[in-house]
């Protein structure tokens, strides 16, 4: 696979042709992501090829927290404190690029970005709101664990991400 470039969503990106098999994710990238970004509600990072502004995949990150009660008891945290996290709220791949490991690339890139961000703001995990049970297996393959509050609420610690020694700076444009 020729690696796409990952860059922050901007007005020049072509989103109209983006289509995935989850209508909510198609609608988000076409109509909502840029508005959320402008309002500071999240940052969407898009995959494009160097010669085209057409979005072929994306993920969205935001600051978040997990309740102390939902956090695994084997992961030590101060009592009754919410656990600071970085939320991976959305991740989608255009149908034309399914089966080419683009989803994996985007997830690993999101992990890398979360680890980098955690060095500046303090966060102990990447948290994921999994859209549905169909997507659950995808995240389980990358060692994300289920939180206590919901079987579709998952996480991976920043320490575990660091162990992966990801380096995606070369395919990222600020």
Residues 6+ apart with CB under 8 A from 131: 22, 24, 25, 152
Cα four-point dihedral sign 142, 147, 150, 153: negative
Question: Environment class of residue 154 by beta-carbon count within 10 Å: exposed (0-12), middle (13-18) or buried (19+)?
Answer: buried
List pLDDT tens digits, range 91-128. 999 999 999 999 999 999 999 999 999 999 999 999 99
Rounded to 5 degrees, φ, ψ at 148 are -70, -20
Predicted pLDDT of residue 6: 96
64 and 85 Cβ atoms separated by less than 8 Å: yes
Fold of 5-173: Aminopeptidase (3.40.630)
List pLDDT tens digits, range 127-158. 999 999 889 999 999 999 999 899 999 999 99
Could you state, in order of their start, the residue ranges of all structural domains in the chain?
A: 5-173
- Name the residue with tokens 């008891």: 73
Q: What are the structure tokens assigned to 160, written together? A: 């575990």
- Can you tell me the distance from the alpha carbon of 48 to that of 90, in angstroms, rounded to the nearest whole number? 17
**What is the average pLDDT across 59-70?**
92
148 and 68 Cβ atoms separated by less than 8 Å: no
Reported as a pLDDT band with limits 50, 70 and 90, residue 71 is: confident
């Amino acid at each position: 696979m020729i690696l796409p470039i990952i860059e922050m969503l901007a007005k020049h990106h072509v989103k109209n042709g983006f289509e995935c098999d989850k209508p909510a994710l198609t609608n988000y990238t076409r109509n909502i992501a840029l508005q959320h970004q402008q309002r500071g509600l999240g940052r969407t990072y898009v995959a494009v090829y160097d010669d085209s502004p057409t979005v072929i995949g994306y993920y969205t990150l935001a600051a978040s927290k997990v309740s102390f009660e939902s956090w695994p008891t084997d992961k030590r945290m101060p009592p009754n404190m919410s656990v600071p996290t970085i939320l991976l709220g959305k991740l989608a791949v255009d149908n034309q690029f399914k089966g080419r490991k683009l989803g994996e690339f985007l997830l690993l890139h999101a992990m890398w970005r979360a680890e980098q961000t955690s060095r500046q703001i303090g966060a102990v995990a990447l948290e994921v709101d999994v859209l549905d049970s169909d997507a659950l297996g995808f995240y389980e393959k990358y060692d994300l664990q289920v939180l206590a509050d919901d079987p579709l609420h998952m996480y991976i610690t920043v320490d575990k991400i660091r162990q992966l020694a990801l380096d995606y700076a070369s395919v990222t444009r600020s």
